[in-house]
């Protein structure tokens, strides 16, 4: 197993390269590039939150607990319909910090074993999804930039763990027992696998629907096409056989003002009138 410091060094170096590429080649601002670099660095320490004792786990949790509330706070305020004033924001940040730093870390300590499903490719995708969903703003490109940064850092951690499970004894290459336990898709235990894949599907569904790739499911199946059909304001009767809810057409013949001409300009009734002759009674 690679040491915590090696993970951080490796992912931070990758993050620096990624951030520079984002700000130069990919056309993001320097600030966005810097943030992507930092998130890549953080991604490199995330898998070790399952270390139940010792410094790395505590440090990862302190770090995540300090950063995550800033990403989450506006979602929380919107979800609970809380006001966006300074006091509510500050209180929400403190509550979120406390929940993550102590509540979630306690839960992870109890539930996970080291090199369990936190060290896996699905967990990498979940971490990237969380960064994507948490990143504020509607700009999908920057959300993808941040999510990808976390994924790169996370992947670097898994790869480094696998590299460290190869032992070199002179010329003989020997695999440690830990080989294959980091860069994996599923672990040997049933419940953590089910939990991880359920989370994996939920998160990917949320991301894809936010990207607009998936249409959100309609709340109830339409019983009649009248409700389901959108009303085209320009052509209210455009859908044949369907009466839209708002079936009032924009223009009816009676709503068009009729231009009345003076008597002398109106069309003559007969040819004689047209010729200026009076029709004589017989
Ligand atoms: Zn690890």
List of residues 6+ apart from 249 with CB closer than 8 A: 236, 237
Three-state secondary structure call for residue 137: coil
CA of residue 154 to ligand 1 center, whole Å: 9
Neighbours of 246 (CB within 10 A): 10
Residue 20 scores a pLDDT above 90: yes
CA of residue 142 to ligand 1 center, whole Å: 28
Q: How far is it, in rounded angstroms, from Cα 202 to Cα 134?
A: 15
pLDDT digits (tens, 9 = 90+) for 152-182: 999 999 999 988 887 666 566 667 776 777 8
Q: How far is it, in rounded angstroms, from Cα 179 to Cα 228?
A: 55
Residue 16 scores a pLDDT above 70: yes
Indicate the domain borders of the chain.
Answer: 4-52+112-211
Greatest extent of the chain over all pairs of C-alpha atoms, in Å:
134
CA of residue 7 to ligand 1 center, whole Å: 8
Q: What's the mean pLDDT in 81-92?
A: 92
Residue 36 scores a pLDDT above 80: yes
Residue 245 scores a pLDDT above 80: no
Q: How far is it, in rounded angstroms, from Cα 4 to Cα 188?
A: 25
CA of residue 119 to ligand 1 center, whole Å: 7
Q: In sequence order, which ranges of 135-173 are alpha helices (DSSP H)?
A: 140-163
pLDDT-derived band at 195, boundaries 50, 70, 90 = confident
CA of residue 96 to ligand 1 center, whole Å: 26
Helix axes 121-134, 30-43, angle to 10 degrees: 150
Phi and psi for 224 in degrees, rounded to 5? -140, 150
CA of residue 272 to ligand 1 center, whole Å: 105
Q: What's the mean pLDDT in 243-267?
A: 53
pLDDT digits (tens, 9 = 90+) for 109-155: 776 666 778 889 999 999 999 999 988 888 999 999 999 999 999 99
pLDDT at 65: 86
Q: Residue for token digits 């990862």?
A: 60
- Which tokens is 61 given? 């949790």
CA of residue 156 to ligand 1 center, whole Å: 10
Q: What's the mean pLDDT in 47-55?
A: 71
pLDDT at 41: 95
Q: Residue for token digits 């953080």?
A: 42
CA of residue 182 to ligand 1 center, whole Å: 7
Neighbours of 1 (CB within 10 A): 18
CA of residue 203 to ligand 1 center, whole Å: 23
List of residues 6+ apart from 146 with CB closer than 8 A: 35, 36, 39, 131, 132, 135
Whole-prediction pTM:
0.66
CA of residue 218 to ligand 1 center, whole Å: 42
Residue 88 scores a pLDDT above 60: yes
Neighbours of 205 (CB within 10 A): 14
CA of residue 162 to ligand 1 center, whole Å: 9
pLDDT at 274: 52
* CB distance 178 to 165 below 8 Å: yes
Termini Cα distance of the chain: 122
- Residue of 100, 159, 97, 96 lying closest to 124 (CA atoms): 159
CA of residue 39 to ligand 1 center, whole Å: 17
């Amino acid at each position: 197993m690679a040491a915590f410091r090696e993970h951080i060094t490796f992912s931070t170096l990758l993050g620096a390269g990624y951030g520079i590429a984002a700000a130069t080649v990919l056309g993001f601002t320097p600030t966005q590039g810097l943030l992507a670099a930092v998130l890549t660095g953080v991604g490199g320490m995330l898998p070790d939150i399952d270390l139940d004792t010792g410094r790395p786990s505590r440090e990862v949790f302190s770090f995540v607990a300090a950063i995550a509330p800033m990403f989450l706070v506006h979602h929380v305020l919107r979800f609970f319909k809380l006001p966006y004033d300074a006091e509510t924001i500050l209180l929400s940040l403190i509550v979120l910090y406390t929940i993550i730093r102590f509540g979630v870390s306690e839960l992870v300590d109890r539930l996970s074993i080291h090199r369990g499903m936190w060290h896996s490719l699905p967990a990498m995708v979940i971490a990237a999804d969380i960064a994507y969903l948490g990143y504020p703003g509607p700009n999908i490109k920057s959300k993808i930039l941040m999510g990808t940064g976390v994924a790169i850092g996370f992947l670097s951690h898994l790869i480094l763990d696998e590299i460290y499970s190869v032992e070199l004894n002179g010329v003989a290459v020997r695999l440690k027992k830990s080989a294959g336990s980091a860069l994996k898709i599923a672990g040997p235990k049933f419940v953590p696998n089910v939990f991880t894949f359920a989370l994996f599907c939920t998160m990917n569904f949320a991301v894809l629907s936010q990207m607009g790739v998936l249409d959100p499911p309609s709340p109830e199946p339409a019983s009649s096409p009248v409700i389901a059909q959108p009303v085209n304001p320009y052509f209210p009767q455009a859908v044949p056989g369907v009466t839209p809810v708002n079936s009032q057409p924009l223009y009816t013949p009676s709503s068009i003002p009729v231009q009345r001409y003076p008597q002398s300009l109106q069309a003559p009734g007969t040819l004689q009138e047209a010729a200026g002759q009076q029709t004589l009674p017989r």
